[in-house]
Amino acid sequence: MLLYKYRISKTENRKGRIKLINLKFIKTRRSELGISQQEMAEKLGFKNASTYFKYETGVYSFKAEMIPVLATELKCDMKNFFEN
């Protein structure tokens, strides 16, 4: 069994460069706002929370077009998702 204390996902920007996404920030911010995984799943167009969970834990990588939706729902700036 693998436990991830801190994971980073990758997504490509328009120029094809890979950016690292801070998954810990996404999970923490969602929890702070009291948003369930099911609610986030629905906002991103998924049928259930298990699919969203796979993105939030790094099994799947967030797509570039998902970032603005995440920023809106998590009430933050898109740059907050990316590592320095």
Within a domain: residue 33?
Answer: yes
pLDDT tens column, 15-55? 556 668 899 999 999 999 999 999 999 999 999 999 999 99
Predicted model pTM:
0.77
Within a domain: residue 25?
Answer: yes
Within a domain: residue 32?
Answer: yes
Report the alpha-carbon distance of residue 29 to residue 4 in Å, rounded. 17
The number of domains in the chain is: 1
The enclosing domain of 34 has a CATH number of: 1.10.260.40
Domain region containing 61: 19-77
Within a domain: residue 49?
Answer: yes
